[in-house]
Amino acid sequence: MEVTDIHPLVILFAAITTDNILLARFLGMCPFLAVSKQVKSSIGLGTAVVFVLTCTSVLNWIVYNSILVPYNLEYLQYIVFIIVIAAFVQIVEMAIERISMSLYMALGIFLPLITVNCAILGGSLFMISRKYTLLQTAGFGFGSGLGWMLAIVAMAGIREKMKKAKVVPQLEGPGIALIIAGIMALAFIGFSGVMKIN
Amino acid sequence: MDKILLAIEVLCGISLALTLLLLVAEFFFANYGDCEIDINNGDKKITAKGGGSLLSTLSEDKVFIPSACGGRGSCGFCKCKVDKGGGPVLPTETPYLSEEELKNNVRLSCQIKVKEDIAIRIPEELLSVKEFETTVESITDLTHDIKGVRFKLPEGETVRIKAGQYIQLVAPPYDEVHEPTSRAYSIASRPSDDEAIDLIIRLVPNGIVTTYVFEHLKEGDKAKLVGPFGDFYLRDTDKECIFIAGGSGLAPFRSMLYDMIEKGIKRKTTFFFGAVGLRDLYFVEEFAKLSEEHSWFKFVPALSGKEEGHSYERGLITDVVARSFEKMDNHEGYLCGSPGMIDACVRVLTAGGIPEDQIFYDKFA
């Protein structure tokens, strides 16, 4: 089966579960460990990632296929993708501040931080290397964002419950968080092969 | 070669397009048009361009809300009541607002962005706060890092201050500083002197305004002052006063003492002035003379350093205060100095028996 034949919805679900960008590819680990102490703030960050990842994947697909490919400049993809992501985040921040102050407050510092989240850049690079179509890219971007959010919210939930648990002192904080992430990743990887997307 | 040029062109083109897009977006999203600010239910109405902070927008229209930190959100002085507009309370404000204030829509004006019509309420007297274009009459070295600066008011202009209040000095942009910056300094001159204002300024390493004063300001220069502000003044009771100052915190007490002398207030007063070494002391002779002339006033300089060859009290100012009084049941405390010194002194005074609401202070934030 050709990659282009895969239905975008399949890609979406696969990106959430079997091909979870965080737990299967380990991209975006830094905020995953740093901002997963509370469910509330992890939902805020997750929402921002879903939105930015979806939009920038699509934007970057357009830029890549309509500018870089015709000029044979595919090797510029890294720098171009980063600029596009940075500019997009800036515009979104201005727009949100104007339109919804409460959303702006909820996202807070997370929005600008997302610019350097490697899951965002990873999403754009995967859709290029897997040769997705525009629709597939949209599904992949949205799914990856949702998958990332699912992972961080689950992590935050676990860590909130863990507060009462006794952890070996040497493993408190990031140590136990990494172990939990590893176990979660095992669970997600258990599903790999159910849906094939590349 | 062509390939490299092409790559550069495409990269520049994409950057340019994105920059233009950002500018367009800024024009649409960050342009809030003209907003109307209603002060005290219609007492004064200001129409200003939106986008700036409430504090700076108001000051552009000559309404001055006191702010000791100059709008960085670190002093919590620029509170005002916002009846309409202003958006939700920001996390940068909450540390400075009590629950009571939050309930009453009190906000920090430096953190509110003017994006819509806003209705605010501020104390009546703030509308009479003035901006003075003064001339520097004299600059005196008081110690190695403290200068006394005398600002002469323009001809015909007078200032009405309560002894103990402070005023803001505005430093114009200089060197790497691109914005006018203001900081608060207590007034050291007596209130009856309404032609000039004395400030005592201590050099803060890398401080924007103090560096300006120490390195750029010369006699004869113009300087902008805004004020006066503050509720640090002698309360109208007959309790014994304990004044405690450190460093440049001596300023408001000088003003208060001369005011007491002129008004014939003879409350028993002890003034503790804490410093590290002899080189940090100033105005000692002046205060010693006052204390000789007036039996109700006692001046106690105290040095915390290990220096020999002086007869002043030794030790931290808190210890000196604590051992000077057996009990403090009929006393009021007035403090001016660094936050650390004030917190320590408040502990000593409350331990001595002064209720917290009878301790007044100006913290140099």
Over the stretch B198-225, which tens digit does the pLDDT of each residue have? 999 998 888 888 989 998 888 888 888 8
**B88 and A102: CB-CB below 8 Å?**
yes
d(CA A67, CA A73): 8
Residue of A60, A74, A76 for testing the chain B interface, max B β-carbons within 10 Å: A76
Angle between helices A118-129 and A39-63 (to 10 degrees): 40
* C-beta atoms of A84 and B30 within 8 A: no
Q: Which residues of B touch A79 (CB under 8 A)?
A: 11
Cα B149 to Cα A20, A37, B89, B136: the distances in Å are 66, 52, 39, 7
State whether B144 and B112 are in the same domain.
no
Are A101 and B14 a contacting pair at CB < 8 A? no
Q: Do A76 and B90 touch (CB under 8 A)?
A: no
pLDDT at A34 (0 to 100): 79
The pLDDT value given to residue B149: 92
DSSP labels for B255-301? Answer: HHHHHHHHHT----EEEEEEESSGGG--SHHHHHHHHHH-TTEEEEE
What domain range is B247 assigned to?
240-363
Q: Are residues B142 and B205 in the same domain?
A: yes
Q: What is the pLDDT of residue A122?
A: 92
Could you give the CA distance from residue B194 to residue B151 in angstroms, rounded to a whole number?
Answer: 11
- Based on the fold, state whether residues B184 and B223 are members of the same structural domain: yes
Are B213 and B111 in a shared domain? Answer: no
CB-nearest partner of A76 from B10, B18, B26: B10
* Angle of CA points B285, B287, B292, to nearest 5°: 95
Structural domain includes residue B175? yes
Single out the residue in B77, B97, B126 at which a domain terminates. B126
Which pLDDT score is estimated for A172? 82
What percentage of chain B has pLDDT greater than the value 70? 99
Spans in chain A with pLDDT lower than 50: none
Cβ neighbours of B118 in A, within 8 Å: none
Q: Which residues does chain A have within 8 Å of residue B26's beta carbon, measured at their own beta carbons?
A: 94
Clarify whether residues B283 and B356 are in a common domain: yes
pLDDT of the residue at B199 = 92
Residues of A in contact with B15 (CB under 8 A): 83
- For residue B25, the distance in angstroms to the closest alpha carbon of chain A comes to 6
Tokens of B217: 């300001």
How far is it, in rounded angstroms, from Cα B31 to Cα B160? 40
Q: Within chain B, which residues score under 50 in pLDDT? A: none
Neighbouring CB atoms inside 10 A of B2's CB total 6
Which of B229, B257, B291 is at the close of a domain?
B229
Residue from the list A79, A91, A97 with its beta carbon closest to the beta carbon of B11: A79
B41 plus B112 within the same structural domain: yes
User: Closest Cα partner for A152 from A180, A111, A133?
Assistant: A180
Residue B191 and residue B247 share a domain: no
Which of A75, A90, A102 would you mutate first to test chain B, the one with the most B CBs within 10 A?
A90
Residue B58 lies in a domain: yes
Domain of B262, CATH number, reads 3.40.50.80
Nearest chain B residue to A60 by CA distance is B14
Question: Which tokens in the block code for residue B44?
Answer: 């004064």
Tally of domains in chain B = 3
- Inside any domain, residue B13: no
| pTM for the whole structure | 0.55
Chain B residues in contact with A108 by the CB 8 A cut-off are: 91
Q: Where are the domains of chain A?
A: 3-189
The closest CB to that of B14, out of A72, A80, A98, belongs to A80
Q: Choose one of B75, B91, B126: the last residue of a domain.
A: B126
pLDDT of residue A58: 94
Q: How many helices (H) and strands (E) does chain B have?
A: 8, 17
